[in-house]
C-alpha cells in the first residue's frame, strides 16, 4: 500500500518492540522510527537483531537500539527492565510482538515445549507489563499492545492457549486502567507470510492433510504483505485511546489511518414508507444467517478470527445473535409480534460498517471486492431503513 507516514507523529517516543529482528516486528520498528520514535529492538537472535538495528539506523540515525535477550528467561527480562528504566524511565509504548510457535497434536508435544511457549507467549508480556505499569500510571500516559492470533485451532494448542490468554489479560488491564491515559489493546496481523508463520502453517497444514501451497492457495486473496502488517501495527499506536480495550486488526488500523470512515459508502436511498417491517426484518435475518453459516465453513484460522472479532465488536457471540434471529423469524412466521431489539440492530449495522472497512483492504480480487461491497452496502441500507421504521 502507498502510505506516507508523518515523520513527527511519534517524535521521541520510546517504543519497545519484542521480536523485532525480523518479520512484522522489524517492519513495525522501521515504521515507528520513520515516525520519529526511538525503537528498542528486543530479539533473541543476535545476528538478526544487529542487522535490523543497523538497517533502521542507516535510514533513521540514532533511532534504534538493540537488546539481545531470550524472553523465555525471567532473569534476563528483569535485567533488561533495569537497563531500560535506568536509561529511559518507562517506555511510552510496549509492543508484545515476540512469539514462539509450538505445533503438534495434544499429547505429542513435550511439556518442556509447552512451558517455553508459556514463558515467551504469556509470561514475558505479563512481566514487561507489571514491570512498567506503575511508572506509566504515575506519568499518566503509555500504551501496552499485545499481538493476538486466530484463537483455538487444532495442532496449535500450545501456542493459541497463551495468545488467547494475552487477549484476556489485556481486557482485564483495560478495565483496571479506566479513567487513566494508559491504554491497552490487542492487534491481529492477519495471514502474513513471515518465516515463523510459514513454518507453523506448514506443520498444521500437514496435520490437516493438505500442503502448504494448498493452504495459501485457499487464502490467496486474504494474505497481507509483511510490510503492510508492520505499518498497520505502527499506525495503531496513533489511535491507542480509541482502540483501548479492543481487539483490532492491522488492516483496520491502516483503514482508519486512511480515514475510510469518511467515505460515503452507504446508500442514501430510502425504502418505501409502506414497506412491511416484517418483510424487511426477515430479509435482514436471512442475510445474517447466510453470512453466519458461511463463517462456519471457513478454515479454522479465518473462522476463529471472524467470530472473535464479531464478539469483540458486538459484545455478544455470533451464535447468540443467530439464535435470537431464529426465534424472531419463528415469531413472524407464526403471525406473532416479533420481539426485536433496536439496539441489537444498531450494533449489527455498526458491525457491518466495520466489516465493510476491513473488506476494502482485505479483498484483493477487484471483482469480488465490488460484489461483496455492494452486498454489505445493501445490508447496511436495509438496517438503517428498518431502524428508522421501528423508531
Give 166: exposed, middle or buried? Use CB within 10 Å, 0-12, 13-18, 19+.
buried
**Could you give the 3-state DSSP secondary structure of residue 95?**
strand
With beta carbons less than 8 A apart as the criterion, state whether 190 and 24 touch: no
pLDDT, mean over the chain: 84
What pLDDT is recorded for position 388? 84
Domain 14-257 fold: Rossmann fold (3.40.50)
For the beta carbon of residue 22, count every other beta carbon within 10 angstroms: 18
Give the strands of the sheet with 182-188, arranged side by side: 64-68, 38-43, 14-18, 93-96, 142-147, 182-188, 247-249
Kindly state the DSSP code that residue 262 receives in the 8-state scheme.
G
The SS3 assignment for 183 reads: strand
- CA-to-CA distance for 242 and 261, rounded, in angstroms? 14
% the chain with pLDDT above 70: 84
Give the start-to-end residue ranges of the domains of the chain.
Answer: 14-257, 262-390
4-49 pLDDT per residue, tens: 788 899 999 999 999 999 999 999 999 999 999 999 999 999 999 9
**pLDDT less than 50: residues of the chain:** 204, 215, 219, 221-222, 260-275
pLDDT value for 190: 63
Predicted TM-score (pTM) of this structure? 0.67
Backbone dihedral region for residue 60 (phi beyond 0: left; psi -120 to 50: alpha; all else: beta): beta
Q: What is the pLDDT of residue 193?
A: 53
- pLDDT at site 207: 55
Query: What is the reported pLDDT for 266?
Result: 34
134-173 pLDDT, tens digit per residue, is 999 999 999 999 998 766 667 788 888 998 899 999 999 9
Angle at 51 between CA 98 and CA 185, to 5 degrees: 25
For the stretch 174-192, pLDDT in tens is 989 988 999 999 998 865 5
Please choose, from the candidates 167, 173, 124, 174, the residue with its C-alpha nearest in 3D space to the C-alpha of residue 146.
167
Amino acid at each position: 500500500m502507498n502510505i506516507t507516514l508523518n515523520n513527527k507523529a511519534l517524535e521521541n517516543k520510546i517504543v519497545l518492540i519484542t521480536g523485532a529482528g525480523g518479520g512484522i516486528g522489524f517492519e513495525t520498528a522501521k515504521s515507528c522510527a520513520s515516525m520519529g520514535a526511538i525503537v528498542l529492538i528486543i530479539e533473541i537472535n543476535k545476528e538478526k537483531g544487529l542487522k535490523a538495528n543497523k538497517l533502521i539506523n542507516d535510514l533513521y540515525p540514532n533511532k534504534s537500539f538493540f537488546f539481545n535477550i531470550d524472553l523465555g528467561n525471567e532473569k534476563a527480562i528483569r535485567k533488561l527492565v533495569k537497563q531500560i528504566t535506568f536509561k529511559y524511565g518507562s517506555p511510552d509504548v510496549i509492543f508484545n510482538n515476540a512469539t514462539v510457535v509450538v505445533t503438534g497434536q495434544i499429547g505429542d508435544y513435550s511439556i518442556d515445549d509447552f512451558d517455553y511457549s508459556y514463558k515467551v507467549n504469556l509470561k514475558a508480556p505479563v512481566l514487561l507489563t507489571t514491570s512498567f505499569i506503575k511508572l506509566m500510571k504515575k506519568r499518566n500516559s503509555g500504551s501496552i499492545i499485545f499481538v493476538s492470533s486466530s484463537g483455538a485451532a487444532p495442532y496449535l494448542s500450545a501456542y493459541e492457549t497463551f495468545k488467547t490468554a494475552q487477549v484476556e489479560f489485556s481486557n482485564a488491564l483495560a478495565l483496571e486502567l479506566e479513567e487513566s491515559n494508559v491504554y491497552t489493546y490487542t492487534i491481529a496481523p492477519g495471514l502474513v507470510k513471515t518465516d515463523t508463520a510459514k513454518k507453523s502453517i506448514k506443520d498444521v497444514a500437514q496435520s490437516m492433510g493438505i500442503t502448504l501451497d494448498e493452504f495459501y492457495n485457499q487464502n490467496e486473496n486474504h494474505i497481507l504483505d509483511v510490510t503492510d502488517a508492520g505499518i498497520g501495527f505502527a499506525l495503531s499506536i496513533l489511535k491507542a485511546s480509541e482502540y483501548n480495550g479492543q481487539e483490532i486488526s492491522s488492516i483496520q488500523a491502516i483503514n482508519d489511518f486512511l480515514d475510510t470512515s469518511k467515505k460515503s459508502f452507504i446508500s442514501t436511498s430510502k425504502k418505501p414508507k409502506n414497506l412491511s417491517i416484517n418483510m424487511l426484518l426477515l430479509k435482514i435475518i436471512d442475510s445474517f444467517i447466510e453470512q453466519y453459516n458461511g463463517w462456519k465453513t471457513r478454515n479454522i484460522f479465518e473462522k476463529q478470527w471472524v467470530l472473535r472479532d464479531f464478539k469483540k465488536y458486538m459484545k455478544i457471540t455470533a451464535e447468540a445473535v443467530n439464535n435470537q434471529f431464529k426465534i424472531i423469524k419463528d415469531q413472524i412466521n407464526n403471525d406473532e409480534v416479533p420481539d426485536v431489539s433496536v439496539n441489537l440492530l444498531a450494533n449489527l449495522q455498526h458491525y457491518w460498517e466495520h466489516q465493510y472497512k476491513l473488506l476494502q483492504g482485505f479483498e484483493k480480487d477487484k471483482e469480488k471486492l465490488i460484489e461483496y461491497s455492494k452486498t454489505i452496502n445493501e445490508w447496511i441500507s436495509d438496517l438503517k431503513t428498518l431502524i428508522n421504521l421501528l423508531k
